[in-house]
Amino acid sequence: MTTNGNNESSAKPTDLRGILKYVPMFRDHVFVLAVDGSLVAHENFQNVLLDIAVLRSLHIKVILVHGIGQQLQALAEDKAIRITDAHGELDTDPATLDLATEAAAMVSLQVMQGLTRNGLRCATCNGVRGKEIGIVRGIDQGSTGAVDKLDEVLFNKLLDAGTIPVVTPIALNREGTPLRINSDLLASELASRLSASKLIFLTAQNGLSIDGQPMTNLPVAELEALLESSPEKVPERLRSKAQHAVKVIQAGTPRAHILDGRLFGALLNEIFDKVGIGTMVYSNDYQSIRRATPGDAHAIYNITRNGVRSESLRERPLESIESAINDYLVYEIDGSLVACVHLQSYDAEKLIEVGSVYVQPFYQNRGVGRKMVEFACAEAKDRGCRRVIALTTQASQFFSKVCAFTEGGVDDLPKARRDEYIRNGRNSKVLYLDL
C-alpha cells in the first residue's frame, strides 16, 4: 500500500471496465463489511458509503457491522467516566456498558443516515442473540458477550429484499439484557454463518505490515503461524482483525481483507482490482491441485475421453498425453483424479494456452474447474507470461462469466496456434485473460 501524508492513495479508483469484468463473479454474493468506529468518524466515510452503493448496484449483498471504539472513548472523556475496555475485547463493567449502548445508538444512526442519503435500504434488527462470556482466566468478563445465536432466516430475508442489515456491537441475551460484543468477532460470525464470499475489515489504519513490509496477499496458514509465534509483529489494533480473519477462513469464508478505509476508493480497488491496496488473507483453494506425473497419464486420458465424446474437448491420444505429461495439472481427491488441465507455452509471445480443462461430472458445479483455471493463470504469471488464452466450443460462458476471460478472435492466437486452428476446423471460440 502506498500513501502520502494526507492518507490519499496513489492508486486511481478502479475504472468501469475493470469492475464490469468481475460483475458475474460476485453477483448475489454476500460481503460482510466490518467498519471501525474511527472510520465512521472520518471524513472519507462518505466515500465509503458511495462505494457500498456501487456494490449494491452490482447486485452484491452487503451486511455492515460497525464498531464504536473511538466514540466510546470520546464519551468516556466527555463525561469523565473510567471505562474498562473500549473495544469489547476485555471485561465490561456497568458504566462501560451504559456508555457503549449510547455510543452504539449514535453510530448506528449515523451509518443509517449515510446509507439513506445514498438511496440505500437498511435496517437494524435483533437477529444476533448474545450470551455472557463469563469468567476467563479467573476474571469475570461482566457484560462482555459472544454470539449465542444468529437468525439466519431473518438476515437472508433482509438481503433478498435488497436491504443492508446494520449490525451494532450491542446484542441482547435471552432475557433482553444488553451485552457488548467485539465487532470483529461479530462480523466473522456473520460471514461464516451466512456463507459470505468476503469479510472486509475497513479500518482507519494502514493495511497489515510485518517488519515494515506491506502484506498484500497472505495465505491463511502463514498468518496463523505468525500469530502463534510472533503476535507482537502484528500491530495491536489490527491483531483482533488478523485473528478473526484466520477464524473466518477456517470456517469456510474464502477471503478476508484488511484495508485502510481512509483511502479514496479503497473498497472498490481492493475488490475489483487485480492488485488491490490492502491485505488479502486467503485460504489454500489449490491444495488438491498438483503437477501430473507419468503415472497419471492413463487417468488423464480416461477423464478427457468424456469430453471428447461430447465434442467439448479435442482428442489427445494416450501417447500425446504421455509425452507432454509435465505440462498437465491434475486435481486429486482421496487418491483419485477428478479434473485436469493442459498448459501449452508460447514463449516468444509470453503467452500460455489453457487446454483440456475437464472435470468429472460428479464434481462439476463445485468450483473445481474455476480453481484449476485460476491455478493455471497463477502458474502462467509466475513464468512471466502476460496473457492466457483458451479455445473452447462449449465452455465459453464458463471462461467469460466464471473466470473473467474476454472473448477475442483468431488474430489473438500466436501464429503456430493460428495455423493449427484453421486446419482442425473446430471453429472454437477464442478467449483471453491479460495478467
Listed by start position, the domains of the chain span 16-282, 289-434
- Residue 18 grid coordinates: 475493470
According to the model, what pLDDT value does residue 315 have? 86
Closest CA to 168 of 113, 118, 120, 101: 101
Is pLDDT above 90 for 103?
yes
Higher pLDDT among residues 14 and 386, named by residue: 386
Specify the fold of 289-434: Aminopeptidase (3.40.630)
pLDDT at position 311 is 78
pLDDT of 126 over the 50 cut: yes
Give CATH superfamily name and number for 16-282. Answer: Acetylglutamate kinase-like (3.40.1160.10)
Q: Work out the pLDDT band at 398, boundaries 50, 70, 90.
A: very high
Fold agreement (16-282, 289-434): no
pLDDT of residue 117: 97
Q: What mean pLDDT is reported for the chain?
A: 89
The answer, yes or no, to whether residue 347 has pLDDT greater than 90, is no
Average pLDDT over residues 307-317: 84
Q: Check whether 171 has a pLDDT greater than 50.
A: yes
Q: Say whether pTM exceeds 0.85.
A: no
Could you give the CA distance from residue 201 to residue 66 in angstroms, rounded to a whole number? Answer: 10
Q: Give residue 8's pLDDT.
A: 44
pLDDT at 5: 37
Q: What is the DSSP string of 18-78?
A: HHHHHHHHHTT-EEEEEE-HHHHTSTTHHHHHHHHHHHHHTT-EEEEEE--HHHHHHHHHH
Name beta bridge partners: 164.
122
13 has pLDDT over 50: no
Residue bearing cell 472510520: 39
